[in-house]
Amino acid sequence: MFKKFAVAAALVAASSVSFAAAPTPFYAGVDVSSTKVDGFDDKGGYGAFIGYKLNENVAVEGGYHRLADTHVNFDGYRAATTLDQIDVSLVGTVPLSNGFSLLGRVGYNRVNGEVKFDGIKSKDHSTNALYGMGLGYTFSPLVSARLEVQKPDTDITKLVVGVAYAF
């Protein structure tokens, strides 16, 4: 009986220590977005990101995002179009209250575009500065969410909702 009690007490003590331990500075997440490209309709997208917190207010983050995967009509012809974004950014946060924070982003990104029409494929890319700003909310020390507006290119605006998990 005493052995069972000792094992149970040891397990409870070990689990409380693991819950109290601070998460590492690494985090990863996923997001969904609505992308507005000048001259096209709004398109839905998705992505994933990984980051490293340099301190409580600054992180380095990299990600891949599918901005659009759609068909576009040009003078009555229909073409399959994809837009992808690869980015690296510095993300700064300013805590507010009750778990909320403001966030700002500045970085570098590459937007890749591909159009397929009648068996012909054409690719192009652009590299630009990336900037954005938004609002974050921390649910727990491990889970947070964000709502952000980003500008990956002069003619692209992206509204992003994401969730991140610290590990």
Which helix (H) or strand (E) segment is 64 a member of?
Answer: strand 58-74
For residue 52, pLDDT over 50 is answered with yes
User: pLDDT category, 23, cuts 50, 70, 90?
Assistant: low
| Residue 110, CA distances (Å) to 37, 124, 141 in order | 15, 10, 32
For residue 2, pLDDT over 50 is answered with no
| Residue 67, CA distances (Å) to 6, 13, 32, 157 in order | 55, 47, 9, 10
Q: Which domains does the chain have, with CATH numbers?
A: 23-166 (2.40.160.20)
Q: What is the pLDDT of residues 135-147, one digit of tens each?
A: 999 999 999 999 9
Average pLDDT over the chain, rounded to whole? 87
What is the structure's pLDDT at 18?
46
Query: Do the beta carbons of residue 86 and residue 64 sit within 8 Å?
Result: yes
- Model confidence, pTM: 0.81
Across 61-70, 93-102, 113-122, least confident range: 113-122
Across 72-76, 81-85, 136-140, 155-159, least confident range: 72-76
Any residues with CB less than 8 A from the CB of 76 and at least 6 apart, and which? none
Nearest one of 79, 81, 84 to 67, comparing CA atoms: 84
